[in-house]
Structure 1
């Protein structure tokens, strides 16, 4: 009986210990952690043939890496230089990248494969940046080395989509008709670097590479050229290029008016609207910015415009004191500009008789109409005084105010190397210096073809953000 009692006690005690220890033990059982995030790019294990091979005669290069490779960007990133007539075929499978050469290789020539950002792993997309492979069909590896930079001339900013090219033919048509001899990609700050170039003299260009042709195919392409050929050796001085789009010119001053407003008129049916001459003006909220130009915009070009029928009057509808103004039509006949020296805080009326204008379809206003608006007050503007003490006035600099990538104002410097204006639109601006060589207050593109080659005018950014406050004397010294 005592034995049974003792066994029962021992059993109960064991169960009690299991109940206490069991949950604690279970709480310590956790799933294994994934470990730190992989930030290491793929590593090259081998290349067949090996890098810097001489007397190369093969048609295939095999690269093996230490992890799986995402091959979707390799073909677009790969630059093969000297540039072949037939592009190579690139395959990526698991840890292997294979490049099959389809073009006939030239004798005694050094070739370089620049993979850019194309080699990356599958899991995290870690990039093996600027991976390069070199081989020679001759007994030596060419060591010509040359670097430089490209900026967009009218902004002073780099464009990483540009490529620099070297041609061994010097006629102007070569950049249009022929693929270049060597090619180098521009980085995020506009720098390019040619390596493994055969020493010699070359024509240097940079361009937006449309469709991978490496040619200058359209005046709508960004394009840059060096004034004279460059001689590439082991230590060639760098070259700065300025890219432009031919035909792209900055306007002296872009409009600052916001949304347009139709003149007051009774509501009409769609049929009436189709029969009526549609006109809008740049006076949002019936308010006009005196730094803007007053514009009448029409939905279709005017065939008839009789400015003598228009009445431009002051608040009391008396036009006796308003004399020095005039109208001008643009080339499309869709915009009529009213030029006038506008005072601030003043009311005006523009009276439009029904017969003042007519488009090519015979549409007129259905009835006489009028547009009433008021100019902004002095306190809506800020006063600015901006000095650039180290400015070289011999380069004919002018100051550009840029907002949202658009040039809002272009103002000249005075002899004290400053720009001052009593009324200026508040807002945040980027300041740029335009070296206005011909003095026309606008940026002018370059000219490459023909006898009279000309580089584009140059622009530099001197301050990325400048906040002009309303009703405030905004005074700054800005270093170059």
Structure 2
């Protein structure tokens, strides 16, 4: 026993040494898990889905289970059917609700829906009550018509969720340009739209970029239309039963600005000359593409006899001259390049003359080399579920730009030489067989755009150094 007591004392002393010096640290209790739930409606006066509401002076008070904030309600709120004067929406004094005052005279026997989009959120965490909707009717029943569908971009099969889908009662083409739609719906992130509690009947369906007036009058803006009128019933159709493809008929007109710079006669003489540059990516000419060169100002007159392509011994070689630039800046030549070879491009002083008669200072000889075949890869693509009757064209895309396209005419496609890199594959249904995508045209002709679809494995990688690349491309 006399040995046990000293041992216990030693153990107690060691335990005391293990306690850190200083005051005890007080740890505040955690606040629990983060609130990730949006507000919940707990009351509404009049109640949601109420009937026989007045045509004028309607006031709606909606309460929630927590404090809320309103975020850009004029932009987020959609009222269906359309009202000329938007409601006034304000927070209640306790910030746990909102008051809605309908300022426009309402239509008799009509069901109205108020969709707040992303306009309602809680105060603490900013959790959004997405697409919160309140419904009421000025008649004795609620409309039960519904319509759903999808909108995709025809050019690349992608989604633009900023588009708005609109319904018109009138069937003539001018309605979408001159009249306000009856109903509106936003697209979600997957390009889907849904109309609920709308009146049954026949509608024309469009999708457009809303510039504020809900009308289509700018052909450079995205637009889509459905080929025929839709009859809305009480039955909700599947999402894929109505698909529209948006396009922009005309490209946006570039803004041009004119600046005036005062120069002396000496500076004017020095500046007034042409500058010519040859375009060779990576320092070596690609074996598969033409050689391009460009001026810094538009050319008014060309003399093709002043352009020569030679080998290193200045033996002239035949080529095809390329002159397709409508801006009169860029020109080129096509030749069957040999690998790892050196060429000379001789451009005479008077090959190009601008509209004022000015040329480059002197003739120029440009020496350049071509790439080796080992710098390329080869590929074999095997196609599955391709409908050749739709004239599919395989598009090779980098940075959202089509860099190459190839008609698909059989079950496989092979290339012995192809530039290495990562590519996104798309398939164009080339209706008019011109090799490029064509937009639609609505007014008068009702021509739908050509459609681009995405394979199940949309991205491939072509490896160089003679690597053989094989892929299955399935639609």
TM-score by length of 1: 0.86
Give 1:294 deviation, angstroms: 2.2
Give 1:299 deviation, angstroms: 1.3
Give 1:148 deviation, angstroms: 0.6
SS of equivalent residue, structure 2 residue 74: helix
Higher mean C-alpha deviation, range 88-97 or range 214-223? 88-97
Structure-to-structure mapping, 1:134-153, within 5 angstroms: 134-153=135-154
Structure-to-structure mapping, 1:315-394, within 5 angstroms: 315-319=312-316, 322-394=317-389
Deviations along 1:388-409, one digit per CA (max 9) or x if unpaired, are 1221111111111111111111
- Cα 1:62–1:337 shift into 2, 3 Å: farther
For residues 20 and 305 of structure 2, the distance between their equivalents in structure 1, rounded to whole angstroms, comes to: 98
Provide the residue aligned with 1:204 in structure 2: 205
Give 1:287 deviation, angstroms: 1.3
Provide the residue aligned with 2:243 in structure 1: 240
Unaligned runs of 5+ in 1: 1-18, 250-268
SS of equivalent residue, structure 1 residue 295: strand
Structure-to-structure mapping, 1:117-136, within 5 angstroms: 117-136=118-137
Q: CA RMSD in A?
A: 2.3
- Cα 1:223–1:54 shift into 2, 3 Å: same
- Cα 1:40–1:447 shift into 2, 3 Å: same
Structure-to-structure mapping, 1:57-96, within 5 angstroms: 57=54, 58-92=57-91, 94-96=95-97
Give 1:479 deviation, angstroms: 1.9
SS of equivalent residue, structure 2 residue 39: coil
457, 460, 463: which one aligns with 2:450 = 457
Kindly indicate whether residue 292 of structure 2 is the aligned counterpart of residue 295 of structure 1.
Answer: yes
For residues 88 and 288 of structure 2, the distance between their equivalents in structure 1, rounded to whole angstroms, comes to: 58
Conserved 8 A contact 2:289-2:334: no
Give 1:236 deviation, angstroms: 4.9
Give 1:334 deviation, angstroms: 1.2
Unaligned runs of 5+ in 2: 1-15, 253-265
Provide the residue aligned with 1:263 in structure 2: none
Give 1:271 deviation, angstroms: 6.6
Provide the residue aligned with 1:418 in structure 2: 412
- Cα 1:329–1:396 shift into 2, 3 Å: closer
- Cα 1:271–1:377 shift into 2, 3 Å: farther
Deviations along 1:446-469, one digit per CA (max 9) or x if unpaired, are 11101x221111111113321111
Kindly indicate whether residue 103 of structure 2 is the aligned counterpart of residue 109 of structure 1.
Answer: no
SS of equivalent residue, structure 1 residue 246: coil
Provide the residue aligned with 2:229 in structure 1: 229
Provide the residue aligned with 2:36 in structure 1: 39
SS of equivalent residue, structure 2 residue 61: strand
- Cα 1:301–1:39 shift into 2, 3 Å: same
- Cα 1:309–1:180 shift into 2, 3 Å: same
Deviations along 1:230-276, one digit per CA (max 9) or x if unpaired, are 00001253311111110359xxxxxxxxxxxxxxxxxxx97776132
Q: How many residues align?
A: 437
Kindly indicate whether residue 223 of structure 2 is the aligned counterpart of residue 220 of structure 1.
Answer: no
For residues 208 and 277 of structure 1, the distance between their equivalents in structure 2, rounded to whole angstroms, comes to: 43
For residues 298 and 96 of structure 1, the distance between their equivalents in structure 2, rounded to whole angstroms, comes to: 65
TM-score by length of 2: 0.87
Provide the residue aligned with 2:10 in structure 1: none
